[in-house]
Amino acid sequence: MNSRAFGRKLVIFVFLFLLASMFFTAGGVTITEKVKLVILPGKIGQGWNMDEVDYLLSILEEQALELGRFQLFPRGDLQQIMKERNLSEFGVSEAVEIGKLGGSKYALLLTLTELSSSWSSKSNAYIAVSRYTIKLYNIEDGSLLASKTLDSGGSSKESSQKAITEALKSTATDIWYELRQIFKLEAYVQAIQGNTVILAGVDRKLIKSGYVFEIETESGVGYVKVVGFNKNDGTVVTQLMYGEMPREYDVATEYPMLPIRAGIGVSYFSGMFGLGISGWGGTEDIPVPLHIGLGTFLGSIWSYTPVYLNLGVGMNILTMGRISTMANGGLSMVGLVDMDTYEPVAYLFGLFVGGMITYDFNPKSGVYGSIGYSYYFGDVSGISIQIGLYF
């Protein structure tokens, strides 16, 4: 396979990844306070056993409670019910019945389709894959509110079981993210003071600084970010990011976001054009925002196809409405790949520094452009440019 074909495969892979992460098959639920939820194992497919199901549910329960917007049906009670009724899985009717028994308003049914692990000589590790479907039901009438089929993965160089454990952790995290996408917080605009928008009508204990809310107005959409709280009256203090200024009593709906943005773009380096993926941002556990880059070029260095990886930090410089600028820098590595064997034949190590400018269509997506300089020990250097879309 030549580098052009390799580049086309990279485009298809990234496109499918972004497409899978963007779409959900049904709408969500807006809440203003904690809701009661029961999480149940549905049909259990090939490769799953009850120990793995129980481990998955224990992690998921912990993460769901950490999200802070659920009261969960105790897992110990579920296990007792399954034992008494000699059940290994629940159907829709059982889910509704158990939900009513515990006073839950919603039931999340997990159909665990497949769990497998195998050795990958290409990755030099065990690769595990978990395939499953999540379905959310309204306990009151048994109606289906949301449904999505997902894949999660894990890897380990040590053993197949450790790869499966990592896949189960990834599965719980992915379901946690979908729960946040489904159960969105809702508030209303109580007051406006310049660019400060005060929200009320929602339990402030469910909200953290940095959350973004979308507000539909008569003339368009506005976005506000949570910057603080009023302890006296329990209201939420937000700042208008951009868009239309809301009015009093307009409805504000949570706009769930990942802490790290990712995009795909066209790259240029040292006379070669290519394709690259960039990611930037951070979490509460990461004190310094990360900057990551991965891609390949439709050209050659020393007659081999270059594949690069940048790993460093970024720093926001200036934000004006939809436009943000930042600086970044860190370590860079280029792997020189023989496309006849798909094996790397050499590595170049170096440094990169640069800057990036972004323009938001909304808080989740927009366009970006970056320019920087990369130097590799081995007398390879050049200006790098990338323009693309982020989601």
pLDDT tens string 179-219 = 988 999 999 999 999 999 999 999 999 999 999 999 999 99
In 118-196, where does DSSP find H-type helix? 160-182
Q: Which residues pair with 306 in a beta bridge?
A: 336
What are the angstrom distances between the C-alpha of 344 and each of 131, 273, 277, 348?
31, 20, 20, 11
In CATH, what class is 194-254?
Answer: mainly beta
Segment (H or E) for 145: strand 144-156
Q: Specify the 3-state DSSP secondary structure of 219.
A: coil
pLDDT of residue 284: 56
Give the span between the Cα atoms of 269 and 292, in whole angstroms: 17
Fold agreement (32-183, 260-390): no
Domain positions in the chain: 32-183, 194-254, 260-390
Q: Indicate whether 27 pLDDT > 60.
A: no
Per-residue tokens: 356: 């990036």
Second CATH level (architecture) for the domain 260-390: Beta Barrel (2.40)
pTM of full prediction above 0.85: no
Q: Specify the 3-state DSSP secondary structure of 50.
A: helix
Q: 17-26, 54-63, 251-260, 376-385 — which is least confidently predicted?
A: 17-26
Q: Is 84 exposed, middle or buried (0-12, 13-18, 19+ CB in 10 A)?
A: exposed
Classify domain 32-183 at the CATH superfamily level: ABC-type transport auxiliary lipoprotein component (3.40.50.10610)
Residue 285: how many other CB atoms lie within 10 Å: 6
Q: Which residues pair with 29 in a beta bridge?
A: 183
**How open is the CA angle 351-382-270, to the nearest 5 degrees?**
130
pLDDT of residue 283: 63
pLDDT of residue 159: 93
pLDDT of residue 123: 82
59: amino acid identity, one letter = I
Residue 97 carries which DSSP code?
Answer: H
Per-residue tokens: 105: 């308003």
Confidence of residue 312 (pLDDT cuts 50, 70, 90): very high
Higher-confidence position of 260 and 7: 260
Confidence of residue 287 (pLDDT cuts 50, 70, 90): low
Q: Indicate whether 71 pLDDT > 60.
A: yes
Higher-confidence position of 26 and 60: 60
Q: Which of 391, 313, 321 is nearest to 356 (CA)?
A: 313
Confidence of residue 23 (pLDDT cuts 50, 70, 90): very low
pLDDT of residue 308: 93
Per-residue tokens: 19: 């497409």
Q: Which of 210, 207, 200, 202 is nearest to 235 (CA)?
A: 200
Confidence of residue 339 (pLDDT cuts 50, 70, 90): confident
pLDDT of residue 17: 40
Which residue carries 């910057």 as its tokens? Answer: 227
Greatest C-alpha distance within the chain: 71
Higher-confidence position of 92 and 33: 33
Q: Indicate whether 15 pLDDT > 50.
A: no
Question: Residue 349: phi, psi to the nearest 5?
Answer: -115, 145
pLDDT of residue 165: 94
Q: Specify the 3-state DSSP secondary structure of 360.
A: strand
Confidence of residue 338 (pLDDT cuts 50, 70, 90): confident
Contact 358, 366 (CB under 8 A): yes
Contact 67, 135 (CB under 8 A): no
